[in-house]
Structure 1
Amino acid sequence: MNVIAGVRDFATRHLRESGIFVAFVAIVVLFAALNPNFLSPNNLTNIVLQYSYILILAIGMVMIIVAGQIDLSVGSVVALTGAVSAVVVIREGMPWYVGVLAALVVGLLVGVWQGFWVAFVGIPGFIVTLAGMLLFRGLTYRVLDNVSLSPFGGTYYNIANGFQNGLLGGYGVDVFTLVIFAIGVAGYAWSQWRTRRGRIAYQQPVESMPLFVLKIAVVAAVVMWFGYQLAQSRGLPNVLILLAILVIVYGLVTQKSVFGRHVYAVGGNRHAAELSGVKVRRVNFWIFVNMGFLASVAGIVFSSRMNGAQPGAGNMFELDAIAACFIGGASTTGGVGRVGGAMIGGLIMAVMSNGMQLMGVPQSIQQVVKGLVLLLAVAFDIYNKRRAAALR
């Protein structure tokens, strides 16, 4: 009974986060029941490969939204950076790493350009990035001369399509993949234990020990099951390694660094942040530079996945990234949101898209469903705020 009460109390105190997890599990169970192939090793691998670039964009977008801004240009930046890589590698015949560096430099310059207008000129991010969406799409057409370029081949192609497998041998499954996932689970458990001890030291409320152990066990079981499925297929995708590194780094930046705390302060109350000594303009500038960088990373991954660059690449990516953040718990008014939540939101979008595709649902209906899910997520955010205000 104590465990049940603890679960109920934990869910109540973390309604938004627990609601996201419950929704994600429910969607996975639904599609698994409707299509037995949904949880097959090959399909799970395809989900990772097909939607990794949206998750990369969501990492940067959640920081933008937390700071009370928005970026509508990331889809066009994905197209532009992929186009630059294609021109350098395919048309000019230069090494793959030169194309990667060129794309990263372009993404950083885009971030500097938009950050300047937002932070130092004072134009709202919505307007600056709306202009950027048009500007960078037009530049993409110019860079590609209105034609597609392909194929990359070689190492560049393997950025998003390659796998790490066979490094430790295998017995019907890839042992290396299982070892990496086990290390990840151990790291997660250690991190959660440290966080719990820190909260206890500062006399903050924590869940009971049985509930804490249960949470770690459930996460470990799910993660290891997922790793086992990948190990049965083609091994550990390169892009999943890249995504894991980005999630860990940006999770630490947003939750443990001074800059991360300043981002939340600016989004929560800009005026109070200024009075507290936070350099608001600098924060706004660097979050857009960071978004440009991550958009270029997504552009590299997407062009690698497609094995080429197209003028229309990245269309609507910005809306998928924004939807992932709001579904994952980010607030429309800023100051609230986490990288982990954005990842869950992005996975919900990915699972829904993949599941509906397997079922043969028309594209038009898929867009309707995604729109309704986003609307319900924002409505849930508003409900939580009103509920919190009523309890004060």
Structure 2
Amino acid sequence: MSQVVKSQSNTNPVDNQGGATMSFFQELRVLLKKNIREYGMYIALVVIMAIFSFTTNGLFMSSRNISNLINQTGYIAVLAVGMTLVLIIRQIDLSVGYVAGFLGAIAAIMLTKMGLPVIVTLPVILVLGIIIGLYQGFLVAKLSIPSFVVTLAGMLIFRGALLRVTEGSGTIIIDNKAFNAIGNGFIPDITNGRIHILTLILGAVAVALFIWTELKARRNKLKYNFEVISPAMLGAKIVLVSAVIGYITWILANYNGLSWTVVIVIIVVAIYHFITTKTVVGRYVYAVGGNPEAAKLSGINVNKIIFIVYASMSMLAALSGILYTSRLQSATTTAGTAFELDAIASAYVGGVSAAGGVGKVTGSIVGALVMTALTSGMNLMGVGISYQYIIKGIVLVGAVVFDVMTRKK
């Protein structure tokens, strides 16, 4: 629940001294109304999970299925993080799917045919991703070629490159336990019991860290005389979020615990959340997305931001390719197909504005979970693939319509 910040002359849920001027439910209604863009995706995820849990007689919420669902989201979640920044600055990247597939195939070739170790392969693939992003950023920023054209061409180029490098065998099988563990392995436990104790410990640490950051943020707001939510509302938020973290942790602990894929996604989200909320580069990204001309006139190097965003996007596409290839334990000719569509859909469902300048990486992760949950739930229900595409298309249109309507308000 976002903090409510208003001028002293307006009616506020609470004053600076914590004296409530609204009841708890009145304040909740005000917060939901003012932050409906942020809360809408969470509400949608809860509703989807509840529906599928009921229609599958609880199978959807089983430890095994939730663990698989979260792991399946990994490679799309990483792409969605990068796509969030691209969409925020009012650009697009259609090449990320086949960039991921191509670089995943290059990783397979380096590991199998060239015999290079994982510790060498991974940095090389990430650097190649950065180079690809800088190339596309150059075409967009310096030559002023529309990003749609540049990345559409990139999609065709890297699709052809993927077919070329896999032309001999069609599928490159990877027999490297360390690499395959990235997409299929789980963090080791400190005991050999049925419950994954280390996962529970990490979940408790996450809850403690969340509570500490919330209390610290509240103290800082009060220190500088900003409005904050009431103590009761803060307590409700802490209890609710802590319960969600604890529940997910318990489910995962009952099935192998945290996977390396989840750990990687958490690290990526944490880094990009920090960059977008706590750094100058992050503020510049939102400024460029909000109004490129005004950002340029205010002294922001818009071209530099485009370079950074596209280099970041392709680097994350390389990481996505590593996760996907590792999960399949092979590189295939179809790797990367429609990844860009899933990433764009996840970002929009997660709250990124179609007009640019608005969006959060954490929201895009929730959007990715929504899209994956839809696929997983419909598969468990036996819904045909044709209907799955139709339903996901309707969800995407609904998310954009919701964005347009809330921006008008």
Q: TM-score range with shorter-chain normalisation?
A: over 0.9
Per-residue CA shift, 1:128-155, capped at 9, x if unaligned? 1111100111111122225110033310
1:324 aligns with: 346
Aligned counterpart, 1:294: 316
- Kept in 2, the 8 Å contact 1:328–1:345? The answer is yes
Counterpart of 1:87 (choices 109, 114, 134) is 109
Q: Residue 10 in 1 paired to residue 31 in 2? A: yes
- Residue in 2 that maps onto 1:156: 179
- Correspondence for 1:105: 127
The residue number in structure 1 matching 2:188 is 165
CA distance, structure 2, for counterparts of residue 97 and residue 170 of structure 1: 29
For residue 146 of structure 2, the aligned residue among 121, 124, 130 is 124
Whole-angstrom distance in 2 between the partners of 1:190 and 1:17 = 22
Is the partner of 1:373 in helix, strand or coil? helix
Shift of 1:172: 3.1
- Is 90-99 or 357-366 further displaced after alignment? 90-99
- For residues 358 and 205 of structure 1, the distance between their equivalents in structure 2, rounded to whole angstroms, comes to 46
Query: What is the identity, as a one-letter code, of the residue corresponding to 2:91?
Result: Q
Alpha-carbon distance in structure 2 between the residues aligned to 1:378 and 1:254: 22
Report the equivalent of 1:196: 218
Partner of 2:384: 362
2:63 is aligned with 1:41 = yes
**What CA deviation, in whole Å up to 9, does each residue of 1:337-375 have, x standing for no partner?**
001111111110011111111111111111101100000
SS in 2 for 1:295: helix
Instruction: Quote the Cα distance in structure 2 between the aligned partners of 1:207 and 1:31.
Output: 34
Give the Cα separation in 2 of the matches to 1:172 and 1:154. Answer: 24
Distance 1:328 1:203 in 2: 31
Q: Matched residue of 1:39: which SS? A: coil
How many residue pairs get aligned? The number is 386
Contact kept? 2:93, 2:340, Cα under 8 Å? yes
Q: Separation in 2 of the partners of 1:362 and 1:152?
A: 34
Letter paired with 1:158: A
Unmatched runs of 5 consecutive residues or more in structure 2: 1-21
Counterpart of 1:176 in structure 2 is 198
Selected match of 1:230 from 252, 258, 275: 252
Relative to the length of structure 1, the TM-score reads 0.96
Among candidates 53, 61, 64, match of residue 75 of structure 2:
53
* Distance in 2 separating the partners of 1:224 and 1:218: 10
1:284 to 282, 306, 312: 306
SS in 1 for 2:97: helix
In structure 1, C-alpha distance between the alignment counterparts of 2:286 and 2:186, rounded to whole Å: 37
| Alignment TM-score, normalising by the size of structure 2 | 0.92
Which residue number in structure 2 is paired with residue 261 of structure 1?
A: 283
Match of 1:114 in 2: 136
Q: Distance in 2 between matches of 1:200 and 1:132?
A: 50
- In the alignment, residue 107 of structure 1 is paired with which amino acid? G
CA contact (8 A) 1:86 1:152 kept: no
SS at match of 2:307: helix
Superposed displacement of residue 58, structure 1: 0.5
Distance of 1:81 and 1:152 partners within structure 2: 17
Deviation of 1:60 after TM superposition, in Å, equals: 0.5
Counterpart amino acid of 2:278?
A: K
User: Could you list the per-position Cα deviations for residues 152-176 of structure 1 after superposition, in whole angstroms to 9, with x for gaps in the alignment?
Assistant: 3310000111111322x25531110
Deviations 1:174-229 (A, max 9, x none): 11000111111211222222222333333333221111111111111111111111
User: What is the identity, as a one-letter code, of the residue corresponding to 1:48?
Assistant: I
The correspondence for 2:333, drawn from 285, 305, 311, is 311
Q: Is the Cα contact below 8 Å between 1:53 and 1:301 reproduced in 2?
A: yes
RMSD: 1.3
- Percent identity reads 39
1:279-324 CA distances to partner (integer Å, 9 max, x unpaired)?
Answer: 0000001100000110001100000000010121010010111011
